[in-house]
Amino acid sequence: MDIWVWFERMQYWFAHRSFAGLEGSEFLPATLLYLFIPTWLIPTGWFSYANYLPAALIINLVVVIGHLILVKNYAPVNRLPKFIFLLACFGPILLFRFDALATLTLIISLLFFSREKIGLSGFFLGLASAIKVYPVIFLPYLLLILWQKKALKSIVGLLIYFFEAIILSTLAFFALGGDYQQILTALNFHNLKSISIESIPGSFLTAWSLLTTGQAPGLISGYGIWAIPGPAALFNRLWVLPVAVIYLSLWQQQLFKRFDWGVIFSLMLVFLVFSKNLNPQYAWWFLSLLPFVKTSRLVWLLAFGIAILNQLVYPVYYTWLLEEFYQQNRSYWVYYLLLLRNLLIIALAYLSLKTWYSPVSKTKGKLALK
């Protein structure tokens, strides 16, 4: 269904040779530009969904292979077999979403930063943020590391290249007929979503409904998700507080002296734990970082469990979750699969935070990249 929406956006552009007048699009400029790439594999005059679908799958597969190359070349030794198994557990969903593009550009940015190539790091971080917004939460971490080093020129360079990536993709969108209001619509699209059934708040609100009323809450359909009633507006900003607490703790423990993949991993997990949306593909946001984090076997086992449960919930038993559990108030086991996945994510966040909060992390950097 997602690639069908991609096709519709491209169909609109080829019909009008412009994005002018395009309404209700949830895609940011950089993402819309990415959707053009599969069309390059389609011969002139052959543009159709039947041809766009395999072309999109091929491009997404190339992006996934890009992750494998980065893990092979830059992650600690012997991480590639684990990562390949993690991909197998996660399933084929990355071929039908563009989240792997966001994680790939984010990882490239962080690799450049760890090698003190600040300009390239800023550019790829800006590109990742232009694709999926969430990578912007890591910008303060990189800036504070440079601030600790008193590298003011690097701070300016990082910011210049960061905004350059965003501005260039926006200007390209404008050149293709897009306008400022369409960007605002795309940004607001996600704010308008309710609390998704896959999210951690959604699981807990569902549990509360089961305990108090004996049945699952009613479903809300809209903005590309299935959701439940709840204080959605609260969760639009709630994540800011725990993320701010993480940054305050990092400052108090003086952990801005060097770059640490474990901190990035923790920030990503904490952000998702408190988010109102945790769609199945979002789990890749933190799983893709794991090969670069020095951590325990238990963390890898939790990651494998999360990936398997993630695939069981969506797509394997998703219809059961919607129709049997939420609508018919039966087949509770499928809800328990989702709840278990979310509890494992919370456990993963706890273990990640516990590692760099410990006194050992101050001297040996347990989560640092080898």
Q: What is the pLDDT of residues 64-108, one digit of tens each?
A: 999 999 999 999 988 999 999 999 999 999 999 999 999 999 999
Mean pLDDT of 179-202: 92
Whole-number pLDDT of residue 69: 97
Mean pLDDT of 191-217: 95
Evaluate if residue 364 carries a pLDDT over 80: no
Highest mean pLDDT: which range of 218-222, 309-313, 359-363 = 309-313
Q: What is the pLDDT of residues 16-45, one digit of tens each?
A: 999 999 888 889 999 999 999 999 999 988
pTM of the model: 0.93
Alpha-carbon torsion (271, 272, 277, 281), positive or negative: positive
Distance CA 227, CA 219 (A): 6
Mean pLDDT of 140-167: 96
Whole-number pLDDT of residue 224: 85
Task: Evaluate whether 329 touches 265 at the Cβ level (below 8 Å).
Answer: no
Mean pLDDT of 166-187: 94
Q: What is the pLDDT of residues 325-360, one digit of tens each?
A: 999 999 999 999 999 999 999 999 999 998 876 544
Whole-number pLDDT of residue 357: 67
- The residue among 197, 176, 225, 238 whose CA lies nearest residue 31 is 176
Q: What is the pLDDT of residues 81-91, one digit of tens each?
A: 999 999 999 99
- The residue among 315, 257, 269, 319 whose CA lies nearest residue 293 is 269
Percent of the chain surpassing pLDDT 70: 96
Evaluate if residue 265 carries a pLDDT over 60: yes
> Average pLDDT over the chain, rounded to whole?
93
Please enumerate in sequence order all residues whose Cβ is within 8 A of that of 330, keeping only pairs 6 or more positions apart, or say none.
Answer: 324
